[in-house]
Every structure is written in C-alpha cells, then in structure tokens.
Amino acid sequence: MATIKDIAAKAGVSIATVSRVLNHDETLNVMEETKQRVFEAAEELEYEVRPKARKKRLKVGLVYSYSRQDELEDPYYLCIRFAIERRLEASGYKKQVVSLQNSAESVAGVDGVICSGTFTRRDVERIRTWGKPVVFIDACPDLQNFDAVIVDYGGAVRQIIDYLAANGHTKIGFIGGTNANEVSGSVEDGRITAFREYMTQKGLFHPEYMKLGDFSAHCGYEKFRELYEEGNLPTALFMGNDSMAAGAYRAAYTLGLSIPQDVSIVGFNDIPTAKYMVPPLTTSRLYMDFMGEYAVRMLEERVFESREVCIKTVVPSSLYVRDSVRNLRIANEPVKSVFHDGEE
C-alpha cells in the first residue's frame, strides 16, 4: 500500500506538504500546480485517504484588562483585540469574554484563555485557579505555567535612544504611562525600565527629564507642559505611545514651540495616523496583528497538540524614521542611513 512518503517522493514535495494537501488544509500556501501534482501522484499510486476526525472547534475565553475607553486612548490594545477576534472568527472558533471575577465553574466550558493587557499578582492567581491553558499578551507573569507573547521593549528602547544619540541628542527625556502592575507593586512597564537602565548605562539619565502618568493624549499634553514650566524640557522626548506623542504635539503648539526645531519627539506603536501628523512622527512600529494571531496559534498547540512546555515569544519592533527628530550635528538633517525609513 502506498504511503504519504511515496507520494512525496513522486511529486517532489515534502511529506508535510502532501499531508496538508490531501487533508485540504486551507491555510497551506502553495501553487495550484503543486496541489495538482500531489493529487495525481496519489491517484497513480492508488493511495487511500483515510477519513480524518473533524477538527474540534475551540471555545476561547478572552480576558481584557482594559476598557473600551482605554482602547480609544491607546489603539495598541484595540489592534490586538481585533487581531485575536479576527483569527477566532476565521477559524470558526467561539469566544467568551471572561471577567477576572469569574469562578472556575463559570469558565469550565472554555478550552483555553487568552489574556491581553496588564495584570496584578492577584489577577494572575485568579486566572491560575481556572485550570485552563492560558496565553498572556504583553505580559509574562509565570513562564512555568503560562505561554506569553511579549514585545522586546528593551531592544526597541535601545534602538530609539541610539537613534537620538546619533542625531546629537544628549538631553533625552521620557514621558510614559504606568499600569495596574505598578499599583500592585509588581513589574513596571518595560519601556520605563529599559529607558532608565540604558540611559544610566550611557551616562545620560536625568530623572528630572522623566514624567509618568497614563497612556492618554491628555497625559502627553500635561506632562510636556510640566517639563516646560519646570525648565526641564530636553532637546528630545521619547513618548510611551503615539497617543501621548499627539498630546505632546498639541502642547508644543500651544507653547509656541516647533517640532523638531525646538524639541524632537519619538513615539511608540506606529498607529495609522502617525505618518499624517505634522511633522510625520518618527516611531517604533509594534506588530500587534501578529501578536494577537500568534496567541491563538499558541493556544491551538496547547489544546490540539497537548504541548506541555510553556513558551515565551518575544516580538521585535522596527523604527520608522520620519521628520520629527532634528539632527543637532547637521541642522535639520535627520540620520536615516542605518534605520528603516517608514514612509510608504
């Protein structure tokens, strides 16, 4: 009797490709000619396709630590939520929005849980009691028990600081946001930690140039004005997200300051409107769609393949250089040669 290995050899493709073609895997991306070659080889070898059990349709519990209003203030989480729910719908999976107040009994019907946002230690312990496979997005509270998809905040922040330094900036400030984790005394936002550590390493850290609040545009506006009124406005500001950067733009305008001539600004996230700001915002692009979709894939592995070892996926970012940073070495001539130019 012919085997998949025989078909693969005759069609000149891998065994995995044969398996996916014969099982009509809709996610397989190969040319139609390749599929036809596999089917013809199978027919010539009189391969008998055995009926395959129908793939179970998952029911996924979704935990969001943020509100719809928070999503409007910071589209980062909005993009992640859309990506998760889009992947679930495309796969024919069911979803159930779960509250942190839910008991283990109330989530007994879900196959696994995806948690997006920031969570306190108490939140994590509550989630642990549910006894379900769990994937965290943007947090990694316990790699022994949970999968995680996180941003490489350290790499992103170092890239931003190196870019500003390459443009001659030594007075570099930071306006960022805090979250529930800081309230609980747990791990602080990764951007804050990375900024403080790397600036200290380079001998450039000045606490008077740092302001923390929430992740809203209003906060970016208020904290920018505070730095200005205190006489501590640096030559360049790294903003915790693009919404805060928009607030800083507004503050600069009301104070009669020009970007980047008077102050340079770098954002974080690369929201769709960033390249339409005046001037277009230099920012670090995060791959929110990938993070949401990959979290679903990780949960599938835990359920369908019974993967027992928990894994952490660290997603890099890309610096999109536009026009909001002034080169202090050569006036108004930004350094672009080493970095990705995000204009499209």
Hey, is 321 helix, strand or coil? Answer: strand
Selection from 255, 252, 178, 180 nearest residue 211 by Cα: 178
Distance CA 292, CA 86 (A): 9
Task: Give the model confidence (pLDDT) of 1-50 as tens digits.
Answer: 678 888 889 889 898 898 888 877 767 778 888 888 888 888 888 777 66
Residue type, 36: Q
User: β-strand 94-97 against 59-64: which pairing, if any?
Assistant: parallel
Least confident of 13-22, 109-118, 156-165, 294-303: 13-22
Pair 296, 149: CB distance under 8 Å: no
Question: Judging by beta carbons within 10 Å of its beta carbon (0-12, 13-18, 19+), is residue 229 exposed, middle or buried?
Answer: exposed
Distance CA 23, CA 25 (A): 6
What mean pLDDT do residues 101-106 have?
Answer: 88
> How does DSSP assign 143-160, residue by residue?
TTT-EEEEE-HHHHHHHH
Distance CA 324, CA 265 (A): 6
Number of H helices, E strands in the chain: 12, 12
- The token pair at 200 is 């200290």
Hey, is 178 helix, strand or coil? Answer: coil
Peptide bond into 279 cis (omega under 30): yes
Residue 333 has pLDDT above 70, yes or no: no
Helices (H), the chain: 4-11, 15-22, 32-44, 68-73, 75-90, 121-129, 153-166, 180-183, 190-201, 217-229, 242-254, 288-304
Q: What is the pLDDT of residue 181?
A: 45
Query: Which of residues 186 and 310 earns the better pLDDT score?
Result: 310
- Provide the CA 196 distance to its chain's centre, in angstroms: 21
Pair 115, 139: CB distance under 8 Å: yes
How would residue 342 be classed by pLDDT, with cut points 50, 70 and 90? very low
Most confident of 23-32, 116-125, 178-187, 308-317: 308-317
How far from 271 is each of 30, 189, 244, CA to CA, in Å?
A: 32, 19, 12
Pair 18, 36: CB distance under 8 Å: no
pTM, entire model = 0.76
- The token pair at 175 is 């306006």
Residue 156 has pLDDT above 90, yes or no: yes
The owner of tokens 């509250």 is: 99
